[in-house]
Structure 1
Amino acid sequence: MVFPSLFGDSNTRLFTYWTSDGYNSTGCYNLRCPGFVHASNSIALDVALSPVSTYHGAQHEIILHIFKDPKQNVWWLQHGNDDVIEIINNAQDGQHTTTQMGSGHFAEEQAGGASYFKNLQVVDQSNALVPPGDIKAVATKPNCYNIVPGKSDDAGDYFYFGGPGRNPNCP
């Protein structure tokens, strides 16, 4: 996420956001959430990520796993093999936010243009990683942001996503 009013700069950062009522009146970021425990010394939330991908230039990836521990009933975000860890439309005056999603470019630009997740897997009932099955792409404001799913031998189940937010086709 890039959030200058929260972090004071335009750096890309790994973040989590919690809400119990769909962003109506509750919510907080990262370690500002009561009950959130940071359990890694290899990656931190709120810290700028580096290096970051550039549009039609060098591409960089991080490996993340999000899962729920069925015994402790807690959620984990895992970076690589180390345990650790949306665009929110704050529309004003009936207009969509100008916040970009991903690179700010639509999913059709694919590698080098759009942002992506690849090698998607889910945890099944026996706690094993398995392919997610059919991925249904839903974009509620496709002229603002969109998503294109796919499957390949190289990238497994994947999806490209992104968009500029408010633009002439997305009031």
Structure 2
Amino acid sequence: MAFFLFLIISLCVRCYEVDGARIQDDFDCVDLYKQPAFQHPLLKNHKIQLFPTFTMSTMQLGRDNKDKHSRKRCPMGKVPIFKTKIREQKINMSTSKSQLDGLNQYSQSRPRHHFATLSTTQNMMFHGASARAAVYNLSLQANQYSLSQIWIQGGPPTDLNSIQVGCGVHPNLFGDNQVRLIAYWTADGFRKTGCFNHQCPGFVQVHREFTFGEIIGPTSTIGSDYKSLYPFKVKQDQSTGHWWLIAGRGSWAVGYWPNQLLTHLSHGSYVIRYGGETYASPNVMSPPMGSGRLPRELYKNSAFMSNLEIIDSNYNEVRVNPKYMKSNCDTTPNCYDVQYHGYEGIVFAQAFLYGGPGGQCGI
């Protein structure tokens, strides 16, 4: 009975995909060959891959006449890099562990960080994943953040390679409460390497318009039949081994994490995770996750991710299999929660609900 109820609701809720709508003054156009990535010693002689070998259509650079947003494209040979809003918060290769341990899924008891996720369980190598995330406005304090994302992970916990990609609100990073495209990576279990976006050398930006910090809109409204869904994908290039970020309605190839940085991911990822993550500094309540409403309020109110796909060991993009998926939440169900019932109709395909209001989230 529950399945049919979710199926009916999913058919009633109408969705549309959204792109980013950049505030142009937030970005600098930087020489393609002088971007932050090439300050990394392992990328000193790196040869830039201008587009993924699995498709060239993603590099049309905003030529879709149906794009309703007005964008300022960087000149040929330059790429956009977001201007750090809080200069003293800029992360580099020697950043403190407190900045880096936010996405380590191996410790569900980690203080101040909380997760509500859906994870793969089968014993196989993955070469990426994709999803569409319902986008909601959230009001957060400067010492909080709330993200909706995909995790790509490989290697032992002490030397973890991890890529996280999605959207979220991070006032300390961007200086506002806008929902933006955001990512994070580490090559050594969050010990010495890793950062958000371009704030340390690593990610190679190739697109002249889309980049981290893009404002994502319009957003969804709680209680409305219309939901704004933001599509994003991380896919390993079979020829080069680089991990590409594909985002937005136009499936724009934003850039990639070079395989030289992520040795444990060079042959693929052993686990894929989807869902939400929040952070709050000490003595501050946990912020809302997703829409700020619990999954029991279903698709009209709760945040969700739909069209969940993995890229399997043969580089085929296929729907996740409910038999090999496991939900996990490290808080009480009145703080955050996860609900997964598998196939949710032709609109959402494989989908799940997640999130909640936050608050006192300790167990």
CA shift digits 1:111-141 (9 cap, x unpaired): 1211111111111222111121122111121
Q: If you compute each CA radius of gyration, which structure gives the higher value, 1 or 2?
A: 2
CA 1:141–1:25 in 2, change beyond 3 Å: closer, same or farther? farther
Give the root-mean-square deviation of aligned CA atoms. Answer: 2.3
After TM superposition, the score normalised by the length of structure 1 is 0.83
Length-normalised TM-score, structure 2: 0.42
**Distance apart, 1:65 and its partner CA:** 1.5
- The 1:164–1:65 alpha-carbon spacing in structure 2 relative to 1, beyond 3 Å, is same
CA distance in 2, matches of 1:47, 1:104: 22
- Give the aligned length: 167
How far does residue 164 in structure 1 lie from its aligned partner after superposition?
Answer: 1.9
Where does the alignment leave 5 or more consecutive residues of structure 1 unmatched? none
- Asked if 2 retains the 8 angstrom alpha-carbon contact of 1:148 and 1:161, the reply is yes
| Aligned pair partner of 1:146 in 337, 342, 350 | 337
Structure 2 unaligned segments of length 5 or more: list them: 1-167, 256-275
Tell me which of the two structures has the higher relative contact order, counting C-alpha pairs closer than 8 angstroms and 6 or more residues apart. Answer: 2
Runs of 4+ that moved beyond 4 A: 21-26
Q: Which residue of 2 aligns with 1:30?
A: 197
Are positions 1:163 and 2:356 aligned together?
yes
The question of 1:132 aligning with 2:300 is answered no
Indicate how the Cα distance of structure 1 residues 77 and 110 shifts in structure 2: closer, same or farther if over 3 A, else same. Answer: farther
Report the structure, 1 or 2, having the larger helix content.
Answer: 2
Per the TM alignment, residue 152 of structure 1 is displaced from its structure 2 partner at its CA by 2.4
CA contact (8 A) 2:278 2:286 kept: no
Q: Distance in 2 between matches of 1:18 and 1:88?
A: 16
For residues 54 and 44 of structure 1, the distance between their equivalents in structure 2, rounded to whole angstroms, comes to: 25
Alpha-carbon distance, 1:55 to partner: 1.6
**Number of the residue aligned with 1:48:** 215
Contact 2:278/2:289 (<8 A) preserved: no
Structure 2 Cα separation of the partners of residues 163 and 101 of structure 1 = 5
Identify, as 1 or 2, the structure richer in strand.
2
1:90 Cα deviation from its structure 2 partner: 4.5
